[in-house]
Amino acid sequence: MTARPSLTDAQRRVRLVRRHLLVPPLRADTVEAVADAVVALHSSDPATVYLSAGARLARPGAAEVDRALYEDVTLVRLLAMRRTLFAVTEDFAPHVSAGAARPVAARERATLLKHLREHAEGWDEARLARTQERVLAALARHGEATTAELAQDVPELRETMLMAQGKPYEARQSVGSRLLRLLASDGHVRRARPRGSWTSNVHPWAPVPQWPEVPAARARAEIVRRWLASYGPGTEADVKWWTGWTLRDTRAALADLGAVETGAGYVLPGDEEPDAEVEPWAALLPALDPTAMGWRGRDWYLDPDHVPALYDRAGNVGPTVWWNGRIVGAWAQRPDGTIAWRTLTDAGREAQHAVETEAARLTAWLDGKRVTPRFRTPLERELAA
C-alpha cells in the first residue's frame, strides 16, 4: 500500500505564513488580494477587516479598505459561513451567496417568522414579504439609508419583539434590525459607509445588484477549493467547522474537488509538496482574524494551555502575537493609543525585536485611532487596562 503524503507541523506553519501574506516581502498592494489570500475577512467587528488587512498590506491604511468596501464595492459583506459576517471579493460573492449565505438566510427567515408570531402582533409570512418589498422600494428611492431612516417610510420596522421574557437577559429587538439583517444575508442589501469613523457600528444600507446564479453544489466546491488553497491541509472536521455545513455537504464538496487526503488533512490535487522556507517573522493580528480562526484543530500553531487567555468562552479569539507561524502571546491598545503586548512563551530576543517592530508599524498607521475589540478576552483586557 502506498503511504499517504504528509506535511509536518513546521511545513504547515510555513504554508500559513506564505499563503496568508504574513511575511513582509509577500504583503499585498490591495485589500482584494488580502481577502482572496485568506478566502474571507471576518467582519462581525467592523475594525477587524481594517486590522486584518493592515497586517498584510505593504502600505496599510483605512483608506484602502474604504475604497474596496464603499467606493469600488469590490469587497462585499455577507452573513455566510457559520452564520458569521464576512467580507469577500466581488467575484467570489456569488459562490458564497449560493453556497453559504442563502442557507443561512433561509434559517434566519424561519427564525424571524417564529419570533414575530410569538412576540409581535399580526405578523405572518405574507406580511413579512410585503414589508420586505416596501423596504427595498424605499431603499431604491433613497439610494442608501439607515434602518431608522427607512422606518420613516416603513413604520413596521419600528415594532419590537420582547425576547426571553422574564429572564435576566430579557430584551426588546426591533423588527427593523432583524429584517435588514435578513435582507443582507439574502443578498438584497449591503452595509454602506458608516456614519462616523471606520470603527463605527452605525451604518446605512444600500441596494445590491443581483449576482449571477450559481448551482449550490458548484458554489460549495468553489468555497472549499479556495479554502484548501489557502488553509490546506485541513481535516474534514476543519472544513465542516469553517463552513458550518452538514457532514454530507462537506464530504460532497471534497469529493467533487478530488481532494487528496494526507496525514495532516486534505489538500488540492497537486498541492502535496512543502512550500519554500521563509525568513523569521512576527505579526500582530486582530481579534477574529481569519488565520487564528481558520481551523478547528489548532494544536499545530497554538498551545492548548494558552486558549483560556486568548479566546473568550464562545470561542472568539482576541488580538494575538505571532512568531514563525505560532501564536505566542497577545496585544492590546492602551487608552493612550500605545500598543501593549505580552508573550506566553519564551520566543527569544529575535522575536522580541520583531514584535516591537510590528507594534511600532501598527501604532503608526492607526495614528491615534482607538480600537477596542467587540469580543474581549482575558489577556486583552489585562493588557488594555
d(CA 339, CA 170): 37
Confidence category of residue 2, pLDDT binned at 50, 70, 90: low
Label residue 209 by pLDDT band (50, 70, 90): confident
Question: Which residues make beta-bridge pairs with 78?
Answer: 86
- Which tens digits make up the pLDDT trace of 240-272? 999 999 999 999 999 999 999 999 999 999 999
Q: Is pTM, for the whole model, over 0.85?
A: yes
1 or 77: which leads in pLDDT: 77
Selection from 317, 336, 333, 327 nearest residue 381 by Cα: 333
Amino acid 3: pLDDT: 53
Residues 6+ apart with CB under 8 A from 231: 19, 39, 238, 242, 294, 295
Residues in Cβ contact with 269 at an 8 Å cutoff, skipping those fewer than 6 apart: 257, 258, 259, 260
Give me the mean pLDDT over the 307-330 stretch.
96
CA atoms within 13 A on the CB side of 1: 3
Mean per-residue pLDDT for 54-77? 96
pLDDT of residue 1: 39
Given this model, what pLDDT does residue 85 score? Answer: 92
Give the CA angle between residues 120, 125, 130 to the nearest 5°.
95
Q: What percent of the chain has pLDDT over 70?
A: 99
Q: What is the mean pLDDT of the chain?
A: 93
**Cα–chain center distance at 180:** 19
pLDDT (average), residues 67-95: 94
On the question of a cis peptide bond just before residue 215, with omega within 30 degrees of 0, the verdict is no
DSSP character string of 246-273: -HHHHHHHHHHHTPEEETTEEE-TT--S
Q: Could you tell me which residue, 368 or 353, shows the higher pLDDT?
A: 353
CA–CA dist 283, 163 (Å, integer): 42
pLDDT of residue 303: 97
Ranges assigned E (strand) in the chain: 41-42, 75-79, 85-89, 160-163, 171-174, 189-191, 205-207, 260-262, 265-267, 282-285, 320-323, 326-333, 339-343
Q: C-alpha cell of 296? A: 478547528
pLDDT of 308 above 60: yes
List, for residues 123-168, the tens digit of each pLDDT value: 999 999 999 999 999 999 999 999 999 999 999 999 988 776 777 7
Burial 290-307 (b: 16+ CB within 10 A, else e): bbbbbbeebebbbeeebe
65 contact partners, CB below 8 Å, separation of at least 6: 31, 49, 50, 53, 75, 198
In degrees rounded to 5, what are phi and psi of residue 76? -125, 135
